[in-house]
Amino acid sequence: MVNMRAVDIKDGKGPATSLFINEIERPKPTAAQALIRVKAFGLNRMDLLQREGQYPVPPQAPKTLGVEFSGIIEELASESESGFKKGDAVFGLAYGGAYAEYIVVSTHMLVHKPDELSFEECAGIPETWITALQAMYMVADYKPNQSILWHAGASNVSIAGIQLSKADTASKIFATTRSDEKNKFVVEKLGATAAFNSETQDWAEEVLKATDGKGVDIIVDFMGAGFFASNLKAAARDAHIVTLAALTGMKLPAETDMGAFLFKRVRLEGSTLRARDEKYQGKLRDQLVEHALPKFKDGTFKAYVEKVMDWEKIVEAHQLMESNKTKGKIIMTIDW
């Protein structure tokens, strides 16, 4: 048996301080999989929930945390895609297992690392950019010149989404955050039309003012129940609200008024990514390669990295993510 090091959780779940580096069996690639020697991996909010035992992990996922990574192909199974070979630098999306020295993943979910991007930058692209592409195009069916609102505007998915919206000629791009500093970042660095502080402003009213009372065509929401009424207020007629998370809760107040939902003909759709099958995720991988990767290469799109840390500081990294003070990815590197 060949072993490797991987991040583990004491007693199976717990706070950030329960994370430690353990020795476990190294996985073997089968079917269309590749074995990747991990150079870097990205942190995501789902990792915090999974660590605490509050995230429904797909049955095919290993217990090790982490869904996005970059590294070098060490071995290919017999049915792997012909476009990859041993020694290729790649990045990709996984059902789990990225917090480790090695990971096995389907070659259908791998992307060749461009020379223009570092391993650290690439490790933070797959989950966030694919989620943004999925929400905007496959779920909301975005069309050029529509207006769009991204909640949690300084979160990694919205950082990707705002850049996608700008590149695809959205008529207006709005965002909400919980601080004026993040609002400034969203407008000045990402190019949003305007950003509103959801803690101090009636952001829905501000959106209506900025759209001459029309509202926005698409809302990408991570907040859930606490923003439901305001989302309806800010939505245009025939708007599409895509719910990706519910950070303010799942249950609506008893007094919730559904009138605007009916009379504005709003479409409300929830969506997840990790539980989707490989074929669905593979389509999104292809969309990332075709539509986003060229813009990363020419500098139109930027992979925002808040901090790069050695993976042995995984406890500190999770605590940093829990602080909600970041404006970009937290990337962990493995020193080989």
DSSP, collapsed to helix, strand or coil, labels residue 307 as strand
Please, are residues 156 and 241 in contact by the beta-carbon 8 Å criterion?
no
Only one residue has tokens 């490790």, namely: 123
pLDDT of residue 148: 99
For the cut 90, the answer to whether the pLDDT of residue 66 exceeds it is: yes
Instruction: Give the per-residue pLDDT at 25.
Output: 97
Q: What is the pTM of this model?
A: 0.93
Each domain of the chain, given as residue ranges in start order, spans 3-125+303-333, 129-270
Q: Per-residue pLDDT for 198 more than 90?
A: yes
Cα–Cα distances in Å, from 123 out to 129, 168, 287? 11, 24, 17
Full DSSP string of 214-262: --EEEEEESSGGGGHHHHHHHEEEEEEEEE---TT-SPPPTT---HHHH
Q: Is the pLDDT of residue 176 over 90?
A: yes
Cα separation of the two ends of the chain? 21
State mean pLDDT over 152-167. Answer: 97
Range 300-307 average pLDDT = 97
Q: Are the folds of 3-125+303-333 and 129-270 the same?
A: no
Strands of the sheet with 267-270, listed across from one edge: 194-197, 173-177, 148-150, 216-221, 235-243, 267-270
When pLDDT is cut at 50, 70 and 90, the band that residue 132 belongs to is very high
- How far apart are the C-alpha atoms of 153 and 207, rounded to whole Å? 14
In degrees, to the nearest 5, what angle opens at C-alpha 281 toward C-alphas 279 and 286?
95
Give CATH superfamily name and number for 3-125+303-333: Medium-chain alcohol dehydrogenases, catalytic domain (3.90.180.10)
Domain 129-270 has CATH 3.40.50.300: no
For tokens 């995230």, the residue is 55
Comparing CA positions, the residue from 83, 64, 244 lying closest to residue 156 is 244
- Joined together, the tokens standing for residue 41 give 């991996």
- The string of pLDDT tens digits covering residues 199-222 is 999 999 999 999 999 999 999 999
pLDDT for the residue 278:
87
Residue 56: pLDDT over 90: no
Whether 253 shows a pLDDT value over 90: the answer reads no
